[in-house]
Amino acid sequence: MRQIAIFTMGTRGDVQPYLELGRALTKAGMGVTLGTHPCWEGLVRAAGIGFAPIGPDIDIQQEAAAIRGRSKSPMTSMLKTMNFVFQIIKNASGDIYAVCRDKDLIVVSHSQMGATEAEALRLPTVNVTLQTEMIAQPGRPRGLGGRAIDALIGRQMARPYNKIRKLYGLGRVSSMDEVMSPRLNLIPISRYVVQANPYWDGRNQIVGYWYHEDEGYQPPEALRAFLEAGEPPAILALGAMAFESRQEREKLDLFVRALQNAGMRAVIQGFNKSLEGYELPGTMLSCGAAPHSWLFRQGGCVIHHCGFGTSAAAMLYGAPSVPVPHVLDQFAFAQRLYELGVGVEPVRADALSEQRLTRALEQVKDQREALAGRAAALSRKMRAENGLEKAVALIQDVLENP
């Protein structure tokens, strides 16, 4: 049996795509070990995948939220978060190396965990990229100034990883493209969301989203009764963006008022700390953890932060979106949802107000039939892409034809 290791870190949304890939590879007869934070052990083992604890046992969602809360600007927040994440990766390198030693192939996540250790052990790798703007475009015409900027950015991105490479006696690299697999970079995004760039090289393969149906999920009686008591509610699912320390309670108040203004029922995920002792109106319910594959199908729309995983789930399960992007690639996903006609115009978190959010919710109500129709059609097309089947076949080819 071929043995594969996959490494990732971060929030549930950062772990979920690799969990789905690991599940599919296991089903195809391969031995899979997923290395990630100790807090995700139960999730990984429940999927029938081998688990290896990597890094500290922390809730990175709350840690990242604390960094955002202390930062004066989105750019400062991003840089501090990246430095925090890199320190975890660097400190965990020994654990990653140990897991790699008896493996036949390493799947390197978007954080580049495992790339250096695999190179040191001369093991083949397959990359996974979630942010397509990070993919090199070697054939793209660039002026002298553009090339200089690309080189500067490349060196800045590579600098922290060169510290890990030094631990193993490996030479410095000037860009992250130099540590990418020469054979295969999987892009688990639908071609209806992102088109292949003509300047990418052939190893970059858009395969479609990776997802799994939680068919055995049984909702709590309170949630079931709430759903049966009225029209489909809005689903408020901000993921890690619901952790904002002192701002969390204010944000929750704003969403509750806007939903009331729009006359909408709602199911709320997250905001766990703020909801302690918080009296929600009778038209709203806090539901805690529930698989998006089930929950999003119950709603009339989903209000979300446009993270990679939540955006994918909204489209895969046919839910119209109210996009509230906060940082980084969330803005691009929010705009794409709007362009595809499955979401209303985005409401940026840095410009969030009761009035703007109320107006967006009212637009969803007014356009619900058209939005739902387009969302259902897009869902059917995306699910027909069979992203996991394509990914497994491509990985098998790398193993069988080194």
Q: What residue has token string 């990242």? A: 64
Farthest CA pair distance, the chain: 64
* pLDDT for res 289: 80
Superfamily of domain 3-209+385-400: Glycogen Phosphorylase B; (3.40.50.2000)
Question: What average pLDDT does this structure show over 107-115?
Answer: 90
Q: What six digits make up the tokens of 170?
A: 């490996």
Q: Which residues contact 367 (CB under 8 A, 6 or more apart)?
A: 320, 344
Question: What average pLDDT does this structure show over 325-338?
Answer: 90
Q: What six digits make up the tokens of 14?
A: 């950062």
Same fold flag, 3-209+385-400 and 221-383: yes
Overall pTM surpassing 0.95 (yes/no): no
d(C-alpha 177, C-alpha 172), whole Å: 12
Q: At residue 108, does pLDDT exceed 50? A: yes
> Over the chain, what is the mean pLDDT?
86
- Is 106 in contact with 125 (CB distance < 8 Å)? yes
Q: What six digits make up the tokens of 331?
A: 């803005």
* pLDDT for res 157: 66
CATH classification for the domain delimited by 221-383, as one of 3.40.50.2000, 3.30.450.20, 3.30.1330.10, 3.50.50.60? 3.40.50.2000
From the list 370, 243, 356, the residue with the least C-alpha distance to 305 is 243
* pLDDT for res 73: 57
* pLDDT for res 74: 55
Among 60-69, 270-279, 360-369, the range of highest mean pLDDT: 360-369
Helix axes 308-316, 330-339, angle to 10 degrees: 20
pLDDT, one tens digit per residue, over 217-247 is: 888 999 999 999 999 999 999 876 655 555 6
| Residue extents of the structural domains in the chain | 3-209+385-400, 221-383
From the list 294, 376, 310, the residue with the least C-alpha distance to 341 is 376
Among 97-106, 107-116, 250-259, the range of highest mean pLDDT: 97-106
